Amino acid sequence: MLDSFTKTIEALLEKKKYSSLRDVLSTMNEADIAAMFSEMPEESLPLLFRILPKDLAADTFALMDTDDQELLIRGFSDNEIKEVFDELYVDDAADIVEEMPANVVKRILKNTDPQMRNIINEILKYPEDSAGSLMTTDYISLRPRMTVSDAIKRIRRGINEAETIYTCYVTDDNRKLLGYLSVKNLLLADKDEKICDIMDKTIICVHTHYDKEDVAKDMNKYDFVTMPVVDDEGRLVGIVTFDDAIDVMQDEATEDIERMAAISPTEESYFKTSDFKHAKNRILWLLILMLSAAITGGILTKYEEACSAVPLLVSFIPMLMSTGGNCGSQSSTMIIRGLSVDEIKLKDYFKVVFTELRVSLILSVTLAVINGIRIWIMNKNFLISLVVSLSIIFIVIIAQFIGCSLPMLAKKCRLDPAVMAAPLITTIVDAASILIYFNIATRFFNI
């Protein structure tokens, strides 16, 4: 659908039908406009953006790609910068400023009003992954002694700046957080009731330095649309909204997945990343794993004699290494994901190990029997099928033990468990597989 829309827009633009263009754009949602903009040729963006109705323009701007934002800002007059940034919510403005090169930031800050400038500077001071850097300061706070009708008046006055009024927070004169109140409860209450009598005093909040991933997890746990953020003195300084929390969760999942494939996570999208950046994100782990695999190779040379004595032995190496690696990755993946969604905790270590041991017994015996029969039929050599089957049993058990233990060890050492995923586990299990296999083989074949 978006594709055909893009074509319509392009045609109208070419024919210079600007007023129809504005009418068409006015019917669209800002997210769709931003998505469409990212598919348009760069040179048409400034014109298209200027055609947008003013209220849509800022909302669309907040949702555009960083590159396109920079392009537009560079073409903006000082006045246009002021117009757009004054309309933005401060958290969106801070996010944009964070991504811009220094000279662009200077121009933006010069052209925003002093209050916005101060808030942006404040938000930029928080560590990159903290609740403080994620929050918005556009919220409505009520006082405990207000009546419901005072509160509604206060909300109506402040509503234009506030990104959301799903939940109102109640603070004292020192901005200390006392409780909260949903708009639902506000609408239900009698208009003369005091806020302090109807507010919910169960305070669940996060600190400005709290990790943004944990903020998102907490919001998911409590089904919060907004989460209040407080400073060291318990003063309310901002709120995190659910849309930013969802983005954090998506980014964290992507980061986990990339790390699990031995890629250094990046925040840029696939096509926006340069070739050298792609290579840089992948090369470190490739080198580490390549050199570790050389160790497995070294171990293998110790068994050169055995290989020469029974050449058939070599042909089972890929199968054993691959099976061990796969079992290890399956275990480590289950544990990494479990740790990441808080289903598995560090104290569950022994419970996890016993579960994996029991599962590995079932798996290893099944695989050993099926493979043993296959080899016996195909090679008519009972001894070799016995050696391979026995090896599979030991390899699978060891692989699952390593696979479930290393992520938890990483977590214990405060490293990201996702580092202990398939590639590293596979490399370690490969070496173990070779050792197990040839130890069993040399015994049975008396080599």
**CA-atom Rg of the chain in angstroms:** 30
Tokens 């490399």, residue?
A: 427
User: Judged by CB, which is closer to its own copies: 220, or 442?
Assistant: 220
Structure tokens at 100: 């811009």
Return the SS3 of 235. Answer: strand
User: Judged by CB, which is closer to its own copies: 47, or 286?
Assistant: 286
> What angle separates helix 2-14 from helix 18-26, to the nearest 10 degrees?
160
User: Judged by CB, which is closer to its own copies: 337, or 411?
Assistant: 337
Cβ contacts of 141 within 8 Å, gap of 6 or more: 168, 169, 170, 171, 175, 236
User: Judged by CB, which is closer to its own copies: 92, or 116?
Assistant: 92
CB 413, min distance to its own copies, A = 22
CB 261, min distance to its own copies, A = 4
Residue 88: burial class (beta carbons within 10 Å; 0-12, 13-18, 19+): buried
Q: Are 54 and 26 in contact (CB under 8 A)?
A: no
CB 269, min distance to its own copies, A = 5
CB 109, min distance to its own copies, A = 26
CB 106, min distance to its own copies, A = 30
User: Judged by CB, which is closer to its own copies: 123, or 218?
Assistant: 218
Distance in angstroms (rounded) separating the CA atoms of residues 27 and 214: 38
CB 411, min distance to its own copies, A = 15
Helix (H) or strand (E) segment spanning residue 342: none
User: Judged by CB, which is closer to its own copies: 111, or 164?
Assistant: 164
User: Judged by CB, which is closer to its own copies: 29, or 121?
Assistant: 29
User: Judged by CB, which is closer to its own copies: 104, or 215?
Assistant: 215
CB 234, min distance to its own copies, A = 17
CB 202, min distance to its own copies, A = 6
Alpha carbon 192 to chain centroid distance? Answer: 45
Between the alpha carbon of residue 394 and those of residues 334, 353, 359, 391, 398, the distances in Å are 21, 16, 13, 5, 6
User: Judged by CB, which is closer to its own copies: 291, or 409?
Assistant: 291
Shortest CA distance to 231 belongs to which of 209, 257, 214?
A: 209
User: Judged by CB, which is closer to its own copies: 111, or 167?
Assistant: 167
Distance in angstroms (rounded) separating the CA atoms of residues 162 and 217: 24
> What angle separates helix 317-340 from helix 242-260, to the nearest 10 degrees?
160
Between the alpha carbon of residue 347 and those of residues 2, 67, 352, 359, 408, the distances in Å are 49, 45, 10, 20, 10
Distance in angstroms (rounded) separating the CA atoms of residues 79 and 85: 10
CB 180, min distance to its own copies, A = 12
- Compute φ and ψ for 177, nearest 5 degrees: -75, 125
Q: Looking only at Cα atoms, what is the longest distance across the chain?
A: 95
Q: Are 306 and 445 in contact (CB under 8 A)?
A: yes
**179 pairs with which residues across the strands?**
170
CB 315, min distance to its own copies, A = 4
